[in-house]
Chains A and B, each alone.
Chain A
C-alpha cells in the first residue's frame, strides 16, 4: 500500500512537470495546427545550457530558468520566422517532417559540442527528501513541481487576462473570424510559437535537475509529450494537464510494479491507442475529418 501511495505521489509530482513541458506543444498545435516534433530537442537544448552554466558557475539550476526561458522564447521566434512560417499551408505531414529535421540538426549540433555523453545536474538538495510518514518526497521533485505549477498558472493568466492571450485563444478557436476582428494571424502565430518554445526553457532547466540526459534523449521526451497531448486532446491546455497527471502516475506505477525499463512503453501505447480509437483525446474538440467513415 505504501508502495502504491509512494508511486502515486511521485507520479503526480512528475506529472506536474510534464504538464508544463506539454503546454507549449499543445498550445502551438491548437493555434496553428503544427505538431512541433522539435519540442523534445528544445527541451534537451535548454537542459544542456542549464548544465553548462550550473557546472561552470554553480548557480542554482532551477533559478536558471529565468535565463533559459527568454533564450528559448527568442529561439522559438527565430525558428518560426525562418522555417515554420513557410510550411503552414503545406500538407500537415510537411510540418512534422520540417520540425523533425530541426530536431535532428539540433541533436547533431549538441552531440558535436558536448561529445555526446550523459549529463545530470546535481545541486545540493538533489539527494535529500521531505518525509511524510512512511512516504518520501524528493526535494528536487517538490521544487520542480512547485515551479511548474507557478509557471503554468502564469501562462494561464497570460492567456486569459492579456490582449495577446485573448488573441491567441481567438486564433485557436476560429482563425478567419479572429483575423476579421483585427488579430494579425502571422504575429499571433509567431508569438504562440515563441511562447510554446519558451516553456521548454523552464521545462529544460527542471528536466536537468530531475533526469540524466544526452542529446538523443529528445526522442524519449517528444514521445512523452506527444503521449500527453494526444491523451488529453491535442490543442487543449486543460487536456495537457490531465494527460500529464494520468501518464505521470501510469509511468510511476509501471516502474514500481513492472519494471522501469517498460515505463516509456506506456507513452507509446497511449499514442497508438488514442490516435486510433479516439483521436480527439479526453478533452479535445472532435475533428471533423475523423468523423468521416473510411
Chain B
C-alpha cells in the first residue's frame, strides 16, 4: 500500500513531510487520472471517511486518553440531521452536512459535560451504551427515523457524468481538515493539556489545567467533523437506517484504525484507516462478507492490544530513535546536576503582603475512608512568609491533609481558606490559579514529555485564547529555561522526563511548580530518597525562594533538615494536630515525643496516638 512509507515517521523529518505532501497530492489527482474507476474511488472515499473518524477519535482517546467506542453516534447524528433536513427543506444534503457537524458537536457538548466525569472502564462502557441507546431509540421512533425501514434520500442532482466525484472531494477535504485539526491541537496549549490529562489527570489539575473543560472540548472536537462526514456519507448512500448509522462495529473499526496506526500521533490514525479499509475490502472480495469482517476486526483488535498497544507509527519511530541514539542515551542522563547560578529575582517577583498574616488556614478538616479516619478535625495554619514544617509518624495523615488542602481529595468536614478566600469547594485547578502549588512525595512528571514541556505545562489562569496558543513558545519557553537553570537542570531540557533519576525529577517538579508563580508551595518529602548533596541544594533553593516572599509548607521525615529549615513546625498524629511551635519547643514537647516514641508513662493521657 503506497500510503505507508516508513520515511514519514515523525513530522520533523523533511523527507517525511515531502512524502506526506506527495501522498495528499496523489490522492487529490487520482480521480482525474483514473476517471470512471468508481470502484477505487469508492474504496478511497470509505478510507477517507474512516480517516476522518479515526482522527476525531484520536483527539479524545489518543491525546486525552479517554477511550471511546461511541464515535459512530456522531456519524449517525450527523447523517440523520443532514438527511432529514434535506428531505424536509428540499435542499442538497451536501449543503446541509455542516449542520450535521453542529448537531454532532451539540451532542458531544451535552453528553461530554456529564460523561467525562467517568474514567477508565466506566467511560468505555458508557460510550458503548450511548451507541446502543441511540440505535434502539432510532429503531423505535419510527415516525422520525423510519425505524428499521430507514429513510431514503433523493439521488444527487448534479450532472451524472460527475459520478461520485463531489463525494470524493468533499470527504477528501474533510480528511485534510481533520488532519489539520489534529496537527494543530497537538501543537497548542490545549493539546499539551490533553496529553497531561492522559498521563496523569490529577497532576494536570494540580498544575492549573481546567480538566473538565479540556475534556469536553476534546469530545466536541472529536465529534464535529465526524458529524459533517455523516451528512456527506448519508447522501453518498442515499439511505440511512438506525442499524447502519448507530453501529457499534463502526465504532470498533474507528478505534482499530487509530490504534493500529498509533494513537496520539498525527498521521497514525490516517495510516491506520487506510490499512483497515483495505483489509475490509479484502474480506469483501475474498471472504464474502460480514462474518469474516467480524473475525478480522476482532482478531486485529486482540493482536493490537496484545502486541502493538502503541500502534505501528510509534513503534517504528521508537525503533528509529533507538538506532539513532544508540550509546548516546546514557550520556544524556548521566550528566551530573550542573549548577549554573541564576538570580532568584528573575524567578519570582517579590510578593509584598505583610509577613505573619495567615495565608492558608485549614479548620476542622476531616477525611474518612470507610471506617478509617485518616484526618480527624485537623487544624492547620500557614503564615505568610514562613517555611512551615509538617511532621508526624507514618500514617498520621500528612499526605491526606495535603490532598485535602490542594483539592485532590474532598474533605468530609472542615474548611480551607487561602489568603482569606474560601477554597475547600474549589477544584484543584482553581486552587492552583489562586497561587497554591504542590509537589509529590514520589514526584509526578509527565514521563512521555520532555523536561521543558513539563515545565511549560502549568497554567496560572484559564483563558479561552490560551487554549489556541502554541504549547512551547516565546516568553513562556524562556521563563521555563530560566527556571530549569535556577534548579540546575538546564542541560536536560530536551530529555524525556521518564529518563531522569529520582533526584533530577524532584528538581524538575520544583521548577514546574514555580512556573505559575505560586504564593504557597506544598512540598511532600522534598528530601526523601535523594542524596545529601542534593538535599542541601533543595534546602538552598527553598531558602532563597522564601527570601523573595514565597511561603512553604513542607512534609519531611529528615528531622535535622526540618529543624534547620522550618519555623514553625506542626506535628500531626492520628490525623490531628497535636502541637505547633518553634523547632525548639517542638523538640522538647512531651506529647510529640510520645507520638514518635510511644507512650511515656509519665505523660499518659486519654488520646493515645497510634
Number of interface residues of B (CB under 8 A): 57
Bound CA span A3–B290, Å: 42
A220: nearest chain-B partner, CB-CB: B132
Shortest Cβ distance from residue A72 to the other chain B in the assembled complex, whole angstroms: 19
Q: Is the pair A268, B117 in contact by a Cβ cutoff of 8 Å?
A: no
**Given known A93-B124, A103-B298, A293-B428, contact A108–B119 (CB-CB < 8 A):** no
Bound CA span A112–B287, Å: 11
Q: Is the pair A108, B293 in contact by a Cβ cutoff of 8 Å?
A: yes
> What residues of chain B lie closer than 8 Å to A292, measured between beta carbons?
202, 408-410
Q: Is the pair A105, B410 in contact by a Cβ cutoff of 8 Å?
A: no
Asked if A143 is an interface residue, CB under 8 A from chain B, the answer is no
Instruction: List A residues 253-294 near B (Cβ within 8 Å).
Output: 259, 261-262, 264-265, 268-269, 271-272, 275-276, 279, 286, 288-294
Most interface-central of A91, A97, A109, A279 (chain B CB within 10 A): A97
Shortest Cβ distance from residue A74 to the other chain B in the assembled complex, whole angstroms: 19
Bound CA span A170–B259, Å: 36
Q: Is the pair B298, A293 in contact by a Cβ cutoff of 8 Å?
A: no
Q: Is the pair B299, A101 in contact by a Cβ cutoff of 8 Å?
A: yes
> What residues of chain B lie closer than 8 Å to A105, measured between beta carbons?
294-295, 298-299, 302
Q: Is the pair A97, B120 in contact by a Cβ cutoff of 8 Å?
A: no
Asked if A28 is an interface residue, CB under 8 A from chain B, the answer is no
Bound CA span A219–B248, Å: 9
Asked if A87 is an interface residue, CB under 8 A from chain B, the answer is yes
Bound CA span A35–B120, Å: 11
One digit per residue, 1 when the CB lies within 8 angstroms of any chain B CB and 0 when it does not, for chain A 57-83 equals 000000000000000000000000001
Asked if B255 is an interface residue, CB under 8 A from chain A, the answer is yes
> What residues of chain B lie closer than 8 Å to A268, measured between beta carbons?
129, 132-133, 136
Q: Is the pair A276, B299 in contact by a Cβ cutoff of 8 Å?
A: no
Of the residues B132, B295, B370, B408, contact of A104 by C-beta under 8 Å: B295
Number of interface residues of A (CB under 8 A): 49
Shortest Cβ distance from residue B65 to the other chain A in the assembled complex, whole angstroms: 8
Asked if B201 is an interface residue, CB under 8 A from chain A, the answer is yes
Asked if B43 is an interface residue, CB under 8 A from chain A, the answer is no
Asked if A98 is an interface residue, CB under 8 A from chain B, the answer is yes
> What residues of chain B lie closer than 8 Å to A111, measured between beta carbons?
290-291, 294
Asked if B87 is an interface residue, CB under 8 A from chain A, the answer is no
Q: Is the pair A261, B140 in contact by a Cβ cutoff of 8 Å?
A: yes
Q: Is the pair B117, A294 in contact by a Cβ cutoff of 8 Å?
A: yes
Asked if B414 is an interface residue, CB under 8 A from chain A, the answer is no
> What residues of chain B lie closer than 8 Å to A108, measured between beta carbons?
291-296, 298
Q: Is the pair B302, A265 in contact by a Cβ cutoff of 8 Å?
A: no
Q: Is the pair A272, B133 in contact by a Cβ cutoff of 8 Å?
A: yes
A290: nearest chain-B partner, CB-CB: B119
Asked if A92 is an interface residue, CB under 8 A from chain B, the answer is yes
Q: Is the pair A116, B132 in contact by a Cβ cutoff of 8 Å?
A: no
Of the residues B67, B122, B128, contact of A279 by C-beta under 8 Å: B122
Asked if A251 is an interface residue, CB under 8 A from chain B, the answer is no
One digit per residue, 1 when the CB lies within 8 angstroms of any chain A CB and 0 when it does not, for chain B 453-476 equals 000000000000000000000000
Asked if B83 is an interface residue, CB under 8 A from chain A, the answer is no
Q: Is the pair B125, A87 in contact by a Cβ cutoff of 8 Å?
A: no
Asked if A210 is an interface residue, CB under 8 A from chain B, the answer is no
Shortest Cβ distance from residue B444 to the other chain A in the assembled complex, whole angstroms: 13
Q: Is the pair A272, B305 in contact by a Cβ cutoff of 8 Å?
A: no
Shortest Cβ distance from residue B245 to the other chain A in the assembled complex, whole angstroms: 16
> What residues of chain B lie closer than 8 Å to A97, measured between beta carbons?
67, 124, 255, 259, 301, 305
Asked if A90 is an interface residue, CB under 8 A from chain B, the answer is yes
Asked if B121 is an interface residue, CB under 8 A from chain A, the answer is yes
**Given known A104-B294, A108-B294, A276-B114, contact A262–B140 (CB-CB < 8 A):** yes
Bound CA span A112–B293, Å: 11
Bound CA span A94–B61, Å: 12
Asked if B427 is an interface residue, CB under 8 A from chain A, the answer is yes
Asked if A54 is an interface residue, CB under 8 A from chain B, the answer is no
> What residues of chain A lie closer than 8 Å to B123, measured between beta carbons?
93
Shortest Cβ distance from residue B189 to the other chain A in the assembled complex, whole angstroms: 19
> What residues of chain A lie closer than 8 Å to B370, measured between beta carbons?
286
Shortest Cβ distance from residue A218 to the other chain B in the assembled complex, whole angstroms: 11
Bound CA span A172–B505, Å: 34
Asked if A242 is an interface residue, CB under 8 A from chain B, the answer is no
Chain A residues within CB distance 8 Å of chain B: 35, 83, 86-87, 90-94, 96-98, 100-109, 111-112, 116, 219, 223, 226, 230, 259, 261-262, 264-265, 268-269, 271-272, 275-276, 279, 286, 288-294
Q: Return 26 A-B CB contacts under 8 Å, by A number.
A: A86-B306, A92-B121, A93-B120, A94-B309, A96-B67, A97-B124, A98-B301, A101-B297, A101-B298, A101-B300, A106-B298, A219-B248, A226-B125, A226-B129, A230-B125, A265-B136, A275-B125, A276-B115, A286-B370, A292-B410, A293-B407, A293-B409, A293-B427, A293-B428, A294-B211, A294-B212
Excluding A92-B121, A104-B252, A293-B428, 12 further A-B contacts by CB distance (< 8 Å) are A97-B301, A98-B305, A100-B252, A103-B298, A105-B298, A111-B294, A112-B295, A268-B136, A272-B115, A276-B126, A292-B410, A294-B201
